[in-house]
Amino acid sequence: MWCILENKVPTWDKMQRRNMYGPGWCCLCKNAEESIIHLFLQCRFIAEVWKECSKIIGTFCRWEGLDLEQAWKSWVSNPAYNDLTSLPLIVIWGTWLARNSVIFKDKEVSPEISAVKSISILAAFPQRTSLPKIKNLSVVEIDKSRPWGFFDGASQSNLCGGGALLFLSEDHFFKIAIGLGEGTNNYAEILSLKMLLVFAIEHGVKNISIYGDSMNIINWTKGTQRCINLNLENLLEDILMLKSSFEYFTCHHIYRSQNQEADQESKKGLLLGSGQWKITEFQGDQTFDILHAPFL
């Protein structure tokens, strides 16, 4: 924060004045030139982070001003933020890390995850009064010690599509889309998981970690929540039977932002006829399209 207030953060506008070449625009929103004021006050990314922070803690977070000094003074003088004084420092630091992740690692961080991490750090600080109880803050780390997969379902105008990814390793994986006909979003989600498990078994997978953003489907599969939808009970029985075919099986709920590729495949599934598969295999630098018979 001292570097920001002293105008010493090496954003692109400063780097170019030092005769260093680069894109110049903000890599988080790609809508404006990168500067301290833009990145930490005006960028759509940090605005979304603040919006998510407000949702998590149940307090509207107003971070605004003509410059960072004014925004900071406004924040610390507001009695509503007495127990949140350090939050802007954490959000700003997280935004800088997200920016560097894109530039140096070619890896995007979602505003949702950045907000979750910010509030998690804040909640770990000693507080004069306790913050509201915060649930489900942990960002799941993907276990890559064994094959792993993602699933998602999509529904639109009563038509459903399924999507999944199966990773045998980081260099060998499959993207799968399937048309699922008519049904609800839960129907699409549970059939997408069934598709993924069937495909994994067909490829000789014995141990697998599954990730999805549907809390209902994950809890039903774990047995921590009862499915009361009679139309889905039979499909859940299929899932539990397939689950028993693996020597090792775990499933985890993840944030939607961690499941974007499976979501993209499910939207492709909306364009396919019922029972039609579209599978692409990626192995090293090679790509293959695979034909598959319907499993429904």
pLDDT over threshold 70, residue 179: yes
Average pLDDT over all residues of the chain: 88
Q: Where are the beta strands (DSSP E) in 194-240?
A: 207-212
Q: 237-262: per-residue pLDDT in tens?
A: 999 999 999 999 999 988 877 898 99
Q: Please, which pLDDT band fits residue 134 given cuts at 50, 70 and 90?
A: low
Percent of the chain with pLDDT over 70: 93
pLDDT over threshold 50, residue 296: no
Determine which of 33-47, 54-68, 166-180 has the lowest per-residue pLDDT on average. 54-68
Q: How far apart are CA 149 and CA 140, in angstroms?
A: 14
- Strands 172-182 and 159-169, by their bridges, are antiparallel
Domains (range + CATH), the chain: 2-124 (no CATH), 148-290 (3.30.420.10)
Q: 182-198: per-residue pLDDT in tens?
A: 988 899 999 999 999 99
Q: How far apart are CA 237 and CA 243, in angstroms?
A: 10
Determine which of 17-26, 36-45, 212-221, 265-274 has the lowest per-residue pLDDT on average. 17-26
DSSP H/E element including 177: strand 172-182
What angle (nearest 5°) sits at the alpha carbon of residue 194, between those of residues 277 and 139?
Answer: 105
Q: Quick one: pLDDT at residue 124?
A: 77
Of the candidates 159, 196, 197, the one whose C-alpha atom is nearest the C-alpha of residue 179 is 159
Q: Quick one: pLDDT at residue 21?
A: 76
Token couple for 97: 């890390």
Higher pLDDT, 108 or 193: 193
